[in-house]
Chains A and B, each alone.
Chain A
């Protein structure tokens, strides 16, 4: 998967893989015994996403063992939550902070306008803020 400049919004939606994430989101749901829970909202869209994280200790740095997500919003935020729920397994807070806009766009397979990129980043921001908390 690589982000291509000039890929339009509807091109993005036509990507089979992404459409599959939209129609059949992975890891949708929650962990009642999550180690970290964080909800983020986008006031522009009314998008809301909650990320539930289970951690495993590996050395001094906790790493993500599994992710579930719940919420509502546009196709981009929901697909991003689904894609990220698979992609971030094994990552630490340090790894999450190192991820940039272009990395998320690459995961989704296209470039997004500044207002829509916020939708794509929302689940990542929830994961980062969740990981920054000491306890769930």
Chain B
């Protein structure tokens, strides 16, 4: 199995037509399509394994528990974590950031302390921290350079303010910028800050080794990485998770309960209250196995080939202004404006050609505001995207430029 044409047959949705044209799906930064084996893993759970976990002593419940635990182990392996106790399943990356804010954040960040974010964050990595800001915590932002890179000089200035935590995206969901995470984490640790990595865009695209990165927390969503909706991941270093109080409380996250108090369950279950999305979790385990069989280095290589193919063609379109890095390593997420057209008019125009791209603010209003924009169009590739599909996009944009501008 190799990315590109060869992998497409694994994704049933890609054989559909839209408005009579082959579907060209270029909204992968928003959500990705699912391979048949992931869809099958989810339905097979309901067909053959369904029982509640950590409850019954009967065989079916044991099997369900084993499948769900095994999915945590598969994700741990995917991230090169120490073990499944460092892997908490949540609904999505947004819930992951909230988990960190409401557990480690509430427990360790006091009035007068600082939190450091960057100018290129998704709303999901801004708004949860604003809850702390209302309690007297200051939020600082590392600015971007004109070429859409993180300003590493500004990082130094902001780290000198001694933030408790630096929470930042690995890859920008708008600019396609790949942040030099290893260097950033090293510098943050040297300044005494712990680091949360928002890997929502990087987990589907490139290898992530949490131990090599020395990340303290990593969050991402299953649905952006060819897995099901409704399940995401928080990786946390074991010693940090052990010393952090629970998030949601209730069933399954406890060991003993009296009328007055309770004691917490072992990791990672301490952070998974109530019956979780068991089938989705099991399917996420299948998803990371699928990705490991392809090899994340091959997924990234394919994306880099598409970037080299698409970038000069996009830049050659009259009146098209590409955002983000114009050279060097970047992801295959291309945001742009075209001759003053509104992005939703571009998206509607391309939709008639079967091409799905995104318009709007991409849940990054502060970033767009800093670029002097309210909205922009965005095309983002996946591991099944082909050069022929890039050609269709380019032709569509040329036509939009001619007919609409």
Interface residues of A (CB under 8 A from B): 8-10, 13-14, 44-47, 72-76, 113, 115-116, 119
Contact = CB atoms under 8 A, between A and B. Distances in A.
Contact of B345 (A44, A72, A74, A115): A74
Given A13-B403, A46-B361, A75 B374 contact: no
B348 A9 contact: yes
B404 interface: yes
B343 to A, nearest CB: 8
Contacts of A44: 344, 360
B344 A72 contact: no
Contacts of A73: 342
A14 B19 CA distance: 18
Contacts of B348: 9, 113, 116
Contacts of B62: none
Interface of B: 19, 341-345, 348-349, 351-352, 359-361, 374-375, 403-404
A13 B349 CA distance: 10
A60 to B, nearest CB: 41
Contact of A119 (B19, B344, B349): B344
Given A13-B403, A75-B342, A45 B360 contact: yes
A14 B345 CA distance: 13
Contacts of A8: 19, 352
Given A9-B349, A75-B341, A116-B344, 20 more contacts: A8-B19, A9-B345, A9-B351, A10-B352, A13-B345, A13-B403, A14-B403, A44-B344, A45-B344, A46-B360, A46-B361, A46-B374, A46-B375, A47-B342, A72-B374, A73-B342, A75-B342, A76-B345, A113-B348, A115-B344
A73 to B, nearest CB: 6
Contact of A45 (B351, B359, B404): B359
A76 B19 CA distance: 20
B36 to A, nearest CB: 29
A113 B351 CA distance: 11
Contact of A75 (B19, B345, B352): B345
Closest 4 CB pairs of A and B: A74-B342, A46-B374, A9-B348, A46-B375
B375 A45 contact: yes
A46 B363 CA distance: 11
A10 B349 CA distance: 6
B346 to A, nearest CB: 9
A45 B342 contact: yes
Given A9-B349, A10-B349, A74 B344 contact: yes
Contacts of B349: 9-10, 13
